[in-house]
């Protein structure tokens, strides 16, 4: 069989399937035994959950990861809380509802109670309660624990979707490939797969029910296919294809440490998109001119409590010190949309990409925002920090965000804590409304970075994660290039820097056009650095300008793609 989807991170691998499904309990459908049976069932489930939590605690303590160990020891405390335990046992002995129903009601009652409290630290306990509840209900059903932090062997992960909290704890060394049922080239699974250089095909509808755990498959993340039931001939053809891709990738890597100067002598800044301050994320620091996008939200993911000011400060400082005088663009929390957060209860929305996301959510949670701004300001004295606000839609957003920053500055000043006076403040241009006001925005901020992933989504009215409308998500749409051209000219007119940090910045064909439109800063995932440098070294600005002029005059994305493929020699 051959299943198809979108190839988002190139490579070919042959390996075993690891089916990954997040557990969701439907308590209304659980069969009900006698009160005595339900009570015994509860005690067995509680013991099993306790055993799992103790193992996790011990595992992370042995690894020296006290932070993760403390999360699970807090969960153990919740599980053995006497009041809740008594209420559950009493509810079960009443005989009116099934055990799972009672467990869910008791945990939910306390979780909602915590949520109403003013103290943000106690409020966060609600997330832990729900986490423990889900574990208990899974143990009730006798289902094994599944997560991606400790995989049994090298595998190809097959799942409906990979939420950022999964990718945050991913056992990278054992992931050969990733296949999901939803998501496209700019979804977060795609971004992570590319930054870890893991071959990935996304948006393969219904694949989870078609494959079996540990079945051998071929993942072709060049042409976007998954093959099962293949013979030896097909296997050797794909092994040859794999060798050829690795050879080409090795060739491109020859450009990794070259200085990116066009043949007519223009120096282009090649910057890195990173998701954390972990050493693997910073390996490419030596090949890049700065961090064009630090997706700070990954610090908040896969955990049950918000990161403290100190913790954030340490992470930001580490990146700033690694880059020295080179700029580090730190984006404030961009959560919501396709990025949920375990440590913050974000109500479900019908249209999350058009909803309470990023800056809007920060305005709604001023304490959380203030903590991040304080941590960033404190870190600013250790390097060249540029602070950037995401999802800006209006001049009001700019002014309000800047005023939050001013308040954080005033607080630090009052406390005698230093911060850099040279800190630059900028915005992401990823909503058309602010792109069309770029001339005004450029007067009120120090820089901008164009988020082409969202700009494409909002300009073309296409959900970037929905495979049903994949064909309409057109990053080569001529309108997009025209609009980007306007933004670049508006910032240039004010003498303010403008870059790109969406996935287009790492696509050599699109990036050539961006240079032609006047862009001089491109930021991308590590996997694209070598190929972008290769393109820069072989494409003069004059050629790029001519390409951009033609592209802006074409009518369709297909015409643009065809034209660029014919005219850019890579
Ligand atoms: C973008 O929208 O282009 C971008 C860089 O931000 P994200 O992909 O994190 O939404
Ligand atoms: Mg974005």
Residue 120 pLDDT: 62
Round to whole Å and give the CA distance between 407 and 374. Answer: 10
| 415 located within any domain | yes
Query: Which is nearest to 13 in space by CA: 206, 231, 222?
Result: 222
Residue 291 pLDDT: 98
| 242 located within any domain | no
Round to whole Å and give the CA distance between 151 and 178. Answer: 13
| 99 located within any domain | yes
Ligand 1 atom nearest residue 449's Cα:
5
- Which ligand lies nearest the alpha carbon of 453? 1
Q: Do 49 and 15 belong together in one domain?
A: no
Q: What is the mean pLDDT of the chain?
A: 91
Q: Do 276 and 415 belong together in one domain?
A: yes
Is residue 336 within 8 Å of 346, Cβ to Cβ? yes
Q: Which two tokens stand for residue 514?
A: 């961006």
**Per-residue pLDDT band at 360 (split at 50, 70, 90):** very high
| 244 located within any domain | no
Q: Do 70 and 12 belong together in one domain?
A: no
Q: Is the pLDDT of residue 342 over 90?
A: no
Boundary-marking domain end, from 77, 106, 140? 140
Q: Do 352 and 370 belong together in one domain?
A: yes
Is residue 17 within 8 Å of 212, Cβ to Cβ? yes
Q: Which domain holds residue 396?
A: 270-427
Q: How many whole angstroms from 186 Cα to the centroid of ligand 1?
A: 8
pTM: 0.70
Q: How many whole angstroms from 428 Cα to the centroid of ligand 2?
A: 8
Return the CATH number at 136.
1.10.274.10
Round to whole Å and give the CA distance between 389 and 398. Answer: 8
The secondary structure of 180-219 as a DSSP string is ESS--TTSHHHHHHHHTT--EEE--TTHHHH--TT-EEEE
DSSP letter for 306, please: P
* Mean per-residue pLDDT, 326-333: 98
- Which ligand lies nearest the alpha carbon of 297? 1
What beta strand segments (E) does 103-206 contain? 155-159, 175-180, 200-202
Is residue 188 within 8 Å of 453, Cβ to Cβ? no
Q: Do 355 and 264 belong together in one domain?
A: no
Residue nearest to atom 6 of ligand 1 (CA): 451
| 451 located within any domain | yes
Percent over 90 (pLDDT), the chain:
69
**Total of domains in the chain:** 4
| 15 located within any domain | yes
Give tens-digit pLDDT for 258-296: 999 999 999 999 999 998 888 777 889 999 999 999 999
Q: How many whole angstroms from 345 Cα to the centroid of ligand 2?
A: 21
Round to whole Å and give the CA distance between 483 and 504. Answer: 14
Q: Do 76 and 208 belong together in one domain?
A: no
Boundary-marking domain end, from 369, 392, 427? 427
Q: Do 338 and 409 belong together in one domain?
A: yes
Residue 74 pLDDT: 86
Any idea which of 115-124, 202-211, 377-386, 548-557 has the lowest mean pLDDT? 115-124
> Annotated active-site positions, please?
188, 501
Q: Which two tokens stand for residue 386?
A: 């540029």
For residue 505, what are the contacts with CB-CB under 8 A and spacing of at least 6?
292, 452, 499, 511, 514, 522, 523, 524, 528, 532
Q: Do 420 and 275 belong together in one domain?
A: yes
Q: Do 379 and 475 belong together in one domain?
A: no
* Mean per-residue pLDDT, 239-263: 91
| 329 located within any domain | yes
Residues with C-beta less than 6 Å from any ligand 1 atom: 186, 293, 295, 334, 430, 451-454, 501-502
Give tens-digit pLDDT for 485-520: 999 999 999 999 999 999 999 999 999 999 999 999
Boundary-marking domain end, from 427, 460, 488? 427
Q: Do 321 and 331 belong together in one domain?
A: yes
Backbone dihedral angles phi then psi of residue 75, each to the nearest 5 degrees: -65, -35
Percent over 70 (pLDDT), the chain:
97
Ligand 1 atom nearest residue 334's Cα:
9
Give tens-digit pLDDT for 57-72: 887 788 776 766 777 8
| 93 located within any domain | yes
**DSSP-based three-state secondary structure for 558:** helix
Best of 430, 434, 514 for a ligand 1 pocket test (most atoms within 8 Å of beta carbon): 430
Return the CATH number at 385.
3.20.20.60
Residue 482 pLDDT: 98
SS (H, E, C) 269-299: EEEEEECCCCHHHHHHHHHCCCEEEEEHHHH
Q: Is the pLDDT of residue 24 over 90?
A: no
Q: Do 389 and 274 belong together in one domain?
A: yes
Q: How many whole angstroms from 431 Cα to the centroid of ligand 2?
A: 9
* Mean per-residue pLDDT, 388-412: 98
Length of the chain: 570
Q: Do 121 and 167 belong together in one domain?
A: no
């Amino acid at each position: 069989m051959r299943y198809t989807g979108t190839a988002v991170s190139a490579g070919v691998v042959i390996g075993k399937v690891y089916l990954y499904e997040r557990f969701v309990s439907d308590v209304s459908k659980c069969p009900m035994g006698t009160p005595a049976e339900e009570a015994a069932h509860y005690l067995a489930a509680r013991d099993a959950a306790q055993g799992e939590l103790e193992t996790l605690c011990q595992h992370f303590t042995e690894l020296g990861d006290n932070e993760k160990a403390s999360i699970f020891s807090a969960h153990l405390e919740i599980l053995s809380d006497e009041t809740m335990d008594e209420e559950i046992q009493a509810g079960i002995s009443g005989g009116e509802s099934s055990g799972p129903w009672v467990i869910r009601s008791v945990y939910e009652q306390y979780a909602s109670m915590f949520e109403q409290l003013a103290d943000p630290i106690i409020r966060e306990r609600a997330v832990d309660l729900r986490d423990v509840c889900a574990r208990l209900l899974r143990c009730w059903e006798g289902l094994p624990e599944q997560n991606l932090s400790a995989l049994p062997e090298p595998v190809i992960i097959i799942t409906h979707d990979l939420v950022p909290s999964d990718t945050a704890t991913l056992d990278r060394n054992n992931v050969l490939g990733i296949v999901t049922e939803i998501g496209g080239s700019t979804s977060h699974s795609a971004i992570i797969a590319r930054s870890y250089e893991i071959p990935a095909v996304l948006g393969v509808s219904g694949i989870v029910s078609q494959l079996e755990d540990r079945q051998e498959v071929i993942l072709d993340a060049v042409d976007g296919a998954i093959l099962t039931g293949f013979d030896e001939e097909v296997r050797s053809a794909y092994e040859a294809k794999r060798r050829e891709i690795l050879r080409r990738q090795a060739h491109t890597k020859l450009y990794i440490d070259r200085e990116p100067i066009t043949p007519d002598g223009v120096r282009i800044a090649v910057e890195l998109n990173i998701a954390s301050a972990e050493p693997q994320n910073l390996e490419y620091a030596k090949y890049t001119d700065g961090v064009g996008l630090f997706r700070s939200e990954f610090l908040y993911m896969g955990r049950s409590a918000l990161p403290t000011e100190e913790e954030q400060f340490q992470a930001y400082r580490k990146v700033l010190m690694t880059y020295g005088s080179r700029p580090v663009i730190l984006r404030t929390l961009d959560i919501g949309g396709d990025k949920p957060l375990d440590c913050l209860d974000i109500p479900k929305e019908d249209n999350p990409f058009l909803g309470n996301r990023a800056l809007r959510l920060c305005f709604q949670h001023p304490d959380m925002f203030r903590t991040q701004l304080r941590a960033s300001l404190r870190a600013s004295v250790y390097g060249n920090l540029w602070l950037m606000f995401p999802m800006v839609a209006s001049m009001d957003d700019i002014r309000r965000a800047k005023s939050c920053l001013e308040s954080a500055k005033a607080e630090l000043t009052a406390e005698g804590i230093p911060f850099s006076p040279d800190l630059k403040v900028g915005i992401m241009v990823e909503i058309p409304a602010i792109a069309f006001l770029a001339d005004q925005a450029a007067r009120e901020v120090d820089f901008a970075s164009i988020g082409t992933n969202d700009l494409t989504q909002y300009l073309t009215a296409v959900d970037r994660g929905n495979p049903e409308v994949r064909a309409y998500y057109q990053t080569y749409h001529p309108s997009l290039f025209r609009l980007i051209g306007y933004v670049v000219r508006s910032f240039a007119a004010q003498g303010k820097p403008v870059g790109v940090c969406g996935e287009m910045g790492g696509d050599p064909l699109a990036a050539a056009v961006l240079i032609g439109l006047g862009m001089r800063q491109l930021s991308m995932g590590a996997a694209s650095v070598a190929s972008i440098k290769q393109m820069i070294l072989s494409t003069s600005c004059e050629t790029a300008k001519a390409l951009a002029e033609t592209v802006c005059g074409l009518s369709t994305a297909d015409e643009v793609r065809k034209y660029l493929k014919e005219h850019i020699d890579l």
